[in-house]
Amino acid sequence: MFMEEAYNSAICFKMLRDTGTLDPLQIKYITKKMKKMAQRSPSMVMESIHDYFKDNPEISSRHRFRLFQVLQAVIGVPDVLEEKWQRDFMQLALEHMTKSTELDDIYQDAASNVLLALCWHSWPAVAKHLETELLTGVFPHRSLLYVMGILSSREELLKKEDRESWKDLLSEIARKSVPFLNTDVWSKELLWTLTKSVKTHQEHTPEKGIALTVGLAAVRHLDDAWAVLEQFGRSTPIKWSLQNFSLKSLEDLRWKWAGSTIILSYGQMAAKAKSHILPWVDNILSRMIFYFRFSSWDEILKQSFLTAIMMLIGAISRNEGAHSYEFSQTSELLECLMILMEKEPQDTLLTSIRQQAIHIVSRLCALRPPIDVDKKSRLLSICFCSVFALPLLDALEKHTCLFLEPPNIQGLYNQTMEAVDHMLQCFMMQNPTTNELYFLLSHLYVWLSSEKIHERQRAVHRCTTLFKFLNHKRCLNTKETFRRVGQLVAMLGILCQDADRTVQCFSLEAMGHFYQLLIHWRAEEIPELERENPQEFPQPDAVGAALWSSGDHRGTLLIPRDMASKSDNIFFMSSNQAIKEIMNHLSMAELTDLIWTAIDGLGSTSNSWVQAAANMLFLVIQEHGGNLTTVGKMGQAIHHHLCAIQMPQAKDSALRVITLLARNHIPELVAAFLDFSTPLDSRPVATLQKIPRIFCANLASISWDWGDFQGALEVIPLDIFETTQLCPSSLAPKEPFSPNTKAQRTLGQDSGDITIPSQDNSYLPSLPWTSDGCRNGAQIPDSAMI
């Protein structure tokens, strides 16, 4: 046992010695190793560190700085720390917290972090020292303010029973410090600290301690705290520093971050004012916005502004009268948030700025007045652009490869996307109408049709989450008309055929949630689906085990396992089956809207989108084409897009759609196509050349009935049938047409034959049809067949 302890002690000694020469990654490994050893033998590790400090006073400041980091990590491992080590390490920390070295503040902060780590084990001793040092009449050292700031923002450093003690202590310190403001030296030191440059982007800074002090003073002296900040804001150095971005000297730079500190002070004032906050909200918010707009722009200002705004909104939300209070600064605050998101770099995600700004927007939804429609539209556009247009995760992570402690990009990304979802849900909860849903979806459609896969993934994921939320909450007003249902079904149907597997699965899931929402909307029961081949549907385990193929979603399940219930059959259908099922619940106007949306998709610059739109058109017309109206305009629109479609397969699919339409709407389509040409009575052959030949060839493959054929002949002269080699195969006359007969179209009473009276009309060309109904020598191309 003794030999093992001696061996481990020697290993500790060697690792502590090596921290002075190793690179940061190796130091992280040593820290991790020391923490594991402290779990097994805390006393041995503590003694090794204590002895190393004692026996090696000549080590460099950098080496000692790294030892402080290791000591901080090790102190947090054991649940109970011996009193001897509490006392010795507290003395060590206090000795070096105020020591000046070439490392400046970071050395003092490392020693201060050791004291903070000891708070969990020996809070009474630490609290007593803080009170003593802060009330000596001499302005406290920056390290003490640093400790105050961290203790105030990280409650996990203290046990639950110690947190209340800390708040009481702060109030007592603030009360007893008021007389020091009349001391010239003390007040000047306070002013210098308020305006001191923050050299790093650390989360916890001395300025937070100063802001907290102002907030504590506002608990009982709100008017006085407001007056002091107002007076400070009107001082000459503050006025001069605002909008002066050419600060050069060290004396000038002291004032650069004054705005950030003042903003934090206003935030703390709002947080501590509690029930007294409402009459002050607009004034406090106007000051925050002012200093945000006119202070030096950097990460510190942005983070201070967002932190202070969250404090303010948190204080408002805890006030019972907030729901009836009319806030006058909401519009100006939204402008600031939009500026923040617009100025975030589009190729990196290193901070939580976007996430915090979106969270604030979500909180503002519950306040009066409601957000203006135009401003909300601009806000959604900026938010979606800032988030959806980010590069893929791999590209985002490459920007952090040189960071010593890189941020968790995956975590930041997930939290940002969740913030967007929450914002959309808050908009719907605040205004649960179909108009609001259509408004939100209309801003997502731009990204659903993006040419970039990862942008479509992100947009369709937001749609899926939103429909899942609405389906669960059932908060929509069912008495209103659902706007543009057909457009939504068409968009999701097209995305179900996307080249990316992730987009396909999210689209199908979104369609399932929307289907259930639609059924509930129309107060219908979900029909029991009859399946001819139930084995074709994927089983829950197969679906649940499938992983997303690419993009941002690594190792995430396509469809949650809890969705695999018998009542959710639509989630296990193919996309075509799901679309057909939804179409059965759409009105003719909604189906028409669906068709027009798909026709618009034929004009996309993406070949895959055009192909999917053509397939969508074919499906809906195959199911419901016989009941459509305005078919002529649809045919003209499809013809218009055909000229621009480059992909042969997509063009062929669009032509098959025209063929399907022709089965029930021959006269309307032919008349529509003739509208593209010159009048028939002037140049029949030239007119004919304007009609798509493939359309005429497809007409030849259709089983015509007499009504259709008669309608077609009313708008198509017989010379067009002749010149285009058009042959309605199912309507062959028993006797061929003769050039010496006049084409008088009558409907036979019994047989349904075409009767041709014998009259002389030499202007009609010969139609040499054979007895089987096909024109002599005419070959129907394969592409014309369905």
Q: What pLDDT, in 10s, does the model give residues 189-207?
A: 766 665 554 333 344 455 6
Contact 512, 528 (CB under 8 A): no
Q: Positive or negative, the Cα torsion across 709, 714, 720, 722?
A: positive
Length of the chain: 786
Residue 692 confidence class, pLDDT cut points 50, 70, 90? very low
546 pLDDT more than 50:
no
Bridge partners for 547 per DSSP? 557
What is the Cα–Cα distance from 524 to 520, expressed in whole angstroms? Answer: 6
Report the pLDDT value the prediction gives residue 611, as an integer from 0 to 100: 92
| Residues whose CB falls within 8 Å of the CB of residue 415, separated by 6 or more in sequence, listed in order | 352, 355
Per-chain mean pLDDT for the chain: 77
Give residue 548's Cα distance to chain centre.
18
Hey, what's the torsion of the CAs at 221, 222, 224, 226, to 10 degrees?
160
With CA atoms as reference, report the closest residue to 476 among 507, 522, 445, 510.
522
What is the Cα–Cα distance from 546 to 536, expressed in whole angstroms? Answer: 16
216 pLDDT more than 50:
yes
What is the Cα–Cα distance from 225 to 220, expressed in whole angstroms? Answer: 9
Contact 647, 607 (CB under 8 A): yes
Q: What pLDDT, in 10s, does the model give residues 225-263?
A: 888 888 888 877 677 767 555 444 444 555 666 788 889
Among 37-51, 596-610, 680-694, 749-763, the range scoring the smallest mean pLDDT is: 749-763
Neighbours of 478 (CB within 10 A): 11
What is the Cα–Cα distance from 508 to 559, expressed in whole angstroms? Answer: 10
Among 465-469, 511-515, 659-663, 707-711, the range scoring the smallest mean pLDDT is: 707-711
Neighbours of 382 (CB within 10 A): 17
Residue 735 confidence class, pLDDT cut points 50, 70, 90? very low
Burial class (CB in 10 A: 0-12, 13-18, 19+), 390: buried
Report which of residues 105 and 312 the model is more confident about: 312
What phi and psi, each to the nearest 5 degrees, are found at residue 360?
-65, -40
What phi and psi, each to the nearest 5 degrees, are found at residue 371?
-65, 135
Report the pLDDT value the prediction gives residue 455, as an integer from 0 to 100: 96
What is the Cα–Cα distance from 470 to 513, expressed in whole angstroms? Answer: 9
Report which of residues 582 and 758 the model is more confident about: 582
Beta strands in 558-702 (DSSP E): none
What phi and psi, each to the nearest 5 degrees, are found at residue 297?
-85, 120
Neighbours of 584 (CB within 10 A): 10
Report which of residues 561 and 287 the model is more confident about: 287
Average pLDDT over residues 403-422: 90
Among 2-16, 194-208, 477-491, the range scoring the smallest mean pLDDT is: 194-208
CA end-to-end span of the chain = 87
Structure-block tokens of residue 273: 């004012």
| Residues whose CB falls within 8 Å of the CB of residue 259, separated by 6 or more in sequence, listed in order | 238, 241, 242, 291, 292, 294, 295, 296, 301
Contact 253, 296 (CB under 8 A): no
SS3 for 557?
A: strand
Domain positions in the chain: 507-651, 666-784
What is the Cα–Cα distance from 115 to 461, expressed in whole angstroms? Answer: 46
SS3 for 458?
A: helix
What is the Cα–Cα distance from 476 to 467, expressed in whole angstroms? Answer: 11
